[in-house]
Structure 1
C-alpha cells in the first residue's frame, strides 16, 4: 500500500470514529450548553479554556444566562462535575472571555468579563475545588481599565497574569506575578510594552520548561485592525522582571516601537491578525504563528528563531482572499491559529490548529516536518462546521503528556459585536488521540 493510501485510510477511519462512535470511544466528551449569541466562549485570546492539574482537567464557560460555569473531570473520564457560580459576565461583548489556571498548590484562579473595565478576579476556596471565594483585587494597581486577562503557569508552581491597561490604540501591558508561599500577587511590570499614547501592543506568549517567558507582539496604530504591523520579540529569564532580545541584549523597559526587536517586518494593511499563539521547541527556540497576506491572500505564517536568525515559513495552502478592517470582534473567514510542536523524535513536526470557510468551517489541523521542509498537509478534525470557533487547547496537558485536548463549541459571531439570536450549543472537548505524522 502506498504512503498516500495509508494516510487516506488513517484519516477516513479517524473521522468515521469521531462522528459515529460513542462519546468516550471517539475522543469527544460533552460538558454542557453554552452562550451562543456570539463567540465569547471560544475567542483565541483565552488563557485558558482548558487546563490540567495532576489527574484532573478544568474548564470554564458562560451558560445561556451569562453565568460563569466551572467544570472538572478526571482525565479519561467522560463525566464532568459542573458548578454554576453566582458570577455573571457581559456576554454581549465577545472580548469579555474567561481565563483560568491552577497554581502549584491546586487552587483554581479565574478572571473574566473585561473590556476596558475593572478587574474581576477570584480564587477557589480549596485546592481542586470549584467553589469560588469573593472577588478581590490582585495588587490594586492599574486595575480599572483591564482587557485581555491571561494566566500562565511557571515551573515553580507560581503564576503570571498578563493584561492590557488602557484602551485600544493607547494601551500598555501589565504583568503580575503570584507567589505560592505568600499566596499573593505582586506587579512586576506596570508598562512593559508602551504604546506611548499612540498605539497598542497585541501580544501572544508562552513559558518554556526552563521558565523562560517568550513574548511576541504586533503594534496597532489605532482601533482599526488594518493598522496592525510588524512582529516583535522579547524574553525574560527571571519571571518577567528583566527582559532581553533574542541576541541577549538587555532591554530598557518599557519597550517602545523604536527599541523593540523586529522578528519580521510586516507593513500596515497586510491583513496581519493579532493575538495568536507561540510555542517553543526542545532547544528553547520560539515559534510564532499568525497570518498575513501573501500575494493578496491571507496565509498562515510561522516566524521562528533558528541558530540566532529569524526565519519564516509560509504554509501557503489557502486559496481565498479577504480583507481585515474596522474594530470590534470581527466575523473573519478563518480563525486565528494555534500552534504546537512535537519534537520528541528525530524529526520535529509543526502543527497549526485552525478553522477556515474554505473547509466548511470545520476544525482542522495543518502539519509539516520542519527538518525535511515538507509541503504542508491538512486534515479536518470534525465532520461538521464549528461556526466562528477559534482554537484553544489544553497547553498544560500537551506539555506534560503530549495529549491534545481541544475546547470546542459551534458559535456564531456577527461582525462588530453584533448578536445572533441562536439557542445555546453544546460545549465539548475533542480528544485527538493519534496525531498525523
Structure 2
C-alpha cells in the first residue's frame, strides 16, 4: 500500500514538474512592450473592426490609440527595440462612442495613413508628412464622394504597395459599402465602388475582408435586418481579382453589382436569433482558400465557428469548447462575455493550422488562442497567452508582420465596456504589445 502511494506521489511530482517546465517555457516565449497609457473607459481602442491597430513596414512598427483626453496618439518603434516613440497629434476623437475607432496603414512608399472618429459622421483622414514619419498633415478628403456619413473605416494593403479603403456610407440599415483605392504613383484616391453590397433600404451588410498573397481581395458578411444584433443572419462571400473593380463568387460566376440578398453567394446559412455576431475576421491559406471565423449557436451555446472553402465546397467546423450560454440583443456597442475572434493561418507540409485569437469570461477574460488542423477526430486545443484578464478587449494583431515573418504581435489594453454605448469610471490603462516569439513552439 505504501509502495503504491509512493509511486503515485512520484508520478504526481513528475507531472507537476513537467507542467511547471512547460509553463516556464511558455512564459519565456511571450514578452510585452509598453507603448503608453490610453483611454480605457470603453472599448474604442480595442474594437475588432480596427484595420489596423498595429502594422509593420520594413523594420518599423506603428500603432495608434486615444489617450484619456481623447487625443489621437501615434506610436513607432524599430521592430527589434522595446522602446516606443509616441506623438500626440493635434487631432481628437469622440472617445465616448466605441464605434469611433482609429485605423492605420503604411503604403508601399512608407507613408502612414490614418482615419479616425467615425459613426455616421464626416470622413476624418490624414497622411504623414514624410515616409516613416509620425507627424500628420492637415485633414483631407479622399475623393469627396459619399464622405459625409462614414462608419467603420478599414485599410487593406495590396502587394503592389497601393491601398484600398472600405467604409460604410450611411446609417445602419440603410448604409452602402464604399471602396476607395489609393495609387502610390499619383498619391491620389479614387472611388472603386459606391455601393458594393446593397441592403435595398431593408438591411445592412456587416463585413470582414482580407487580401491574399496574390492580391485577391476576399470579403464576407452577415446581413442585419434592423438595428438589433439579434437580426444578424447568414454568412455570404465574394472575391475580387482586380483590386476591387469587379467581383465574383467562389465558383467564378461574375456578380452583377451591387450585390443583394438575392444574388449573394451564401457560404453558410444561419437564421436570425442564432447569436450570430458581426464584424469578425477572415484569412486565406497559401492556395487562396478563404477561412472565416465567427461565432453563433451550436445547440443553445454560442461557439466559435470556422467556415471555409475546401475543394470548391463550403464547410463548417465547430470549435466547441465553450460551456456557457448567453444571448445577443439590441443595438450599440455590446458588453459580451466573449470577444469577436481573430484568425491566423499557417500552412505546414501537409496540413493547414488554423488558430482563433479570442477572449472569454470562462477563461478569466485572458488573451487566449484555440488551434486545430480542422480534423473532426481531434478536439481543439486552447492555451492562454496572457496571465491576467484584459476586460472587454477584442483582438487585433499585426497582420503585415504575421504574413511576412509569421511573428505574432498583439495590440493589448485592459478596457471596460458598458452595454449599449455606456462609459465606465476608469483610469487610463496601459497600451501594450504582446509578442509570441515562436507560435508553433508555444502550441506544440
TM-score of Structure 1 vs Structure 2, range by shorter chain? over 0.9
- Equivalents in 2 of 1:242, 1:375: separation in Å? 39
Which among 106, 109, 112 is matched to residue 105 of structure 1? 109
Which among 11, 30, 34 is matched to residue 30 of structure 1? 34
Per-residue deviation, 1:374: 2.5
- Equivalents in 2 of 1:197, 1:304: separation in Å? 30
- Equivalents in 1 of 2:21, 2:419: separation in Å? 38
Which among 57, 77, 98 is matched to residue 94 of structure 1? 98
Per-residue deviation, 1:368: 0.8
Q: 1:333 to 1:133 in 2, by over 3 A?
A: same
Cα-Cα RMSD: 1.5
Per-residue deviation, 1:434: 2.4
Aligned to 2:136: 132
In structure 2, stretches of 5+ residues that fail to align are 1-10
- Equivalents in 2 of 1:63, 1:301: separation in Å? 34
- Equivalents in 2 of 1:353, 1:167: separation in Å? 30
- Equivalents in 2 of 1:189, 1:433: separation in Å? 40
Q: Does 1:304 align with 2:308?
A: yes
Max radius of gyration: which structure?
2
Residues 329-340 of structure 1: matches in 2 within 5 Å? 329-340=333-344
Q: Does 1:205 align with 2:209?
A: yes
* 1:47-75 superposed Cα distances (whole Å, 9 cap, x missing partner): 00000000000000000110000000001
- Equivalents in 1 of 2:312, 2:16: separation in Å? 39
In structure 1, stretches of 5+ residues that fail to align are 19-25
Is the Cα–Cα contact under 8 Å of residues 347 and 370 in structure 1 kept in the other structure? no
Aligned to 2:157: 153
- Equivalents in 2 of 1:120, 1:285: separation in Å? 34
Per-residue deviation, 1:362: 0.5
* 1:401-436 superposed Cα distances (whole Å, 9 cap, x missing partner): 000000000000000010001100000000011221
* 1:230-256 superposed Cα distances (whole Å, 9 cap, x missing partner): 000000000000000000000000000
- Equivalents in 2 of 1:75, 1:274: separation in Å? 32
Q: Does 1:44 align with 2:87?
A: no
- Equivalents in 1 of 2:235, 2:17: separation in Å? 39
- Equivalents in 1 of 2:431, 2:403: separation in Å? 23
Aligned to 2:274: 270
Q: What SS does the corresponding residue of 1:12 show, helix, strand or coil?
A: helix
TM-score, normalisation: structure 2: 0.94
Moved over 6 A (4+): 4-7
Q: What SS does the corresponding residue of 2:96 show, helix, strand or coil?
A: coil
Residues 351-390 of structure 1: matches in 2 within 5 Å? 351-370=355-374, 374-390=378-394
Per-residue deviation, 1:17: 3.8
Per-residue deviation, 1:375: 1.1
Q: 1:7 to 1:235 in 2, by over 3 A?
A: farther
Q: Does 1:281 align with 2:285?
A: yes
Aligned to 2:57: 53
* 1:190-248 superposed Cα distances (whole Å, 9 cap, x missing partner): 00000111110000000001000000000000110000000000000000000000000
Q: 1:260 to 1:79 in 2, by over 3 A?
A: same
Aligned to 2:7: none
Per-residue deviation, 1:370: 3.0
